[in-house]
Chains A and B, each alone.
Chain A
Amino acid sequence: MDVNAIRQQFPILNQNVNGHPLVYLDSSATSQKPLSVISAMEDYYKFDNSNVHRGVHTLGNRATDKYEGAREKVRNFINAESASQVIFTRGTTTSINTVAYSYGRSNLTEGDEILITPMEHHSNIIPWQQTAKATGATLKYLPLQSDGTIDLVDVKEAITNKTKIVAIMHVSNVLGTINPIKQIAQIAHENGAVMLVDGAQGVPHLKVDVQDLDCDFYAFSGHKMCGPTGIGVLYGKRELLDNMEPVEFGGEMIDFVNLYDSTWKELPWKFEGGTPIIAGAIGLGAAIDFLNDIGLENIEEHESKLALYAMKQLRTIDGLTIYGPDDRAGLITFNLNDVHPHDTATVLDSEGIAVRAGHHCAQPLMKWLDVTATARASFYLYNTEEEIDRLVDGLNKTKEYFGDVF
């Protein structure tokens, strides 16, 4: 994998920030976009823009072909059985909310349990809180090991015949933990529960095969995998999606509309009310082509090398605490002595280094870690060891700058 050649595809990386070459270490928040994605969307608007599924005219057909072509690219990328199981949404949040609302509210009742973990992102907590309140079901949390991993013994204990939904993230956006999704799905199924996976940090970085994982729902976003914002995917097993009611009603998703009653289109369109996110889907399709050309296996290997190198280098900094397990995805969450992560991020920014600081939309996990906030450096296919060296330098400068305060 030629990282320098890859970097050429990302014009945004080639700039100075606060007088220093940009070091972008915030790809878990959103990744940068390669030229091919930007131009796929530009070309669509320049030459093919039209509404989809309505067309007798040529542009309408082109737009429809590109939009449905993107769906097929997603199907192939996650190895879904059929493109009808790939629903385009606004992002992971919308995908999870669709399941929590449509599946959750009609299949749960008092006494049923929803199982999640304390490491979840808010978008995989609040929809279940709301569904629990609306149905009388109970929301339960799986305990975590002290290093932020899941023990399958706990999973076997927590999932009972009361459990109806298990919703767990594939990869933690804070701890970097890669969760044993396949094994948890099996335990869930043995007990008659369905399994939803929040794949926002999974699909961009790992080869995901939804049939092999045997999960019932898998949700992810385009913008964390080199695609545009505003597009995401909900994958679901056919028999589940077939029996779910749409969440949004209006144009595009109907079969017949009578004065007092209507019927829905078949999958996946019954879940895509309104004019869909056409350019976004096309951009996501281009992002998938881009990632496939490089190879997910190569990206995974590159990131895991970077994570190992970063762990080694960051551990040379006295007073730096790293959160999460040794075996992790390409992100590292940390705190530096008593320096507040906001202050750390400001000093790093003054050196041209972009990291995330705050609660990472995971307040329950911050509580579990017993911190109010943390800083996070996250890596992607375009990052280099030299950039990690710049991060280490920046952190040493932060220590120097705040050193006399404490």
Chain B
Amino acid sequence: MSFNNLDTLYRQVIMDHYKNPRNKGALADESLTIDMNNPTCGDRIQIHLQVNNGIVEDAKFEGEGCSISLSSASMMTQAIKGKPVEEALKMSKIFSNMMLGEETDQEDIDLGDIEALQGVSKFPARIKCATLAWKAMEKGVDENSR
């Protein structure tokens, strides 16, 4: 039997992040915490950010969800850690374009593992799972800058 079609969604690296999530847990109390729900399935995710002088010094996540939402959160925290806020937001933009199936003009930004999620764009019902963590991060950065 063949799972070729599924393999475009569940790439090895995604399963690795699902099985061994990076940056799972909480940060110190003074960090930013953002709760996000996926109302279609009841999944909840919590993103913790430590932002100082425009730099995302630390990022962690907690929550329950499917393989796509949790692996995406794991990859997101990994990608933005140590990066300037602007770059994190730029990555988020690139990511949402990727989910829409649009060509991504990556310029100098290296998406690393995140590119493995490209296949999600072929599964419209799962796009919200993949963007959940990114949306939470954007919300947190937005609140922090006010």
Q: Which residues of A contact B (CB under 8 A)?
A: 18, 340-343, 346-347, 349-350, 357-359, 363, 366, 372-373, 397, 401-402, 405-406
Contacts and interface: CB of A to CB of B under 8 A. Distances in A.
Given A18-B5, A340-B67, A373 B42 contact: yes
Among A18, A340, A406, residue most surrounded by chain B Cβ atoms (within 10 Å): A340
Interface stretch (B21-29, B101-109, B123-131): B123-131
Contact of B6 (A341, A350, A357): A350
Contacts of B126: 342, 346
B41 A350 contact: no
Contact of A363 (B42, B65, B66): B42
A346 B64 contact: no
Contacts of A402: 67
A386 to B, nearest CB: 18
Contact of A372 (B1, B10, B64, B123): B64
Given A340-B66, A342-B129, A358 B3 contact: no
A222 B118 CA distance: 40
A350 B5 contact: yes
B43 interface: yes
A404 B1 CA distance: 17
B53 interface: no
B100 interface: no
A397 B3 CA distance: 9
Contacts of A401: 3, 6, 10
Nearest to A19: B5
Given A343-B67, A346-B123, A346-B125, A372 B42 contact: yes
Interface string B42-67: 11100000000000000000001111
Contacts of B5: 18, 350
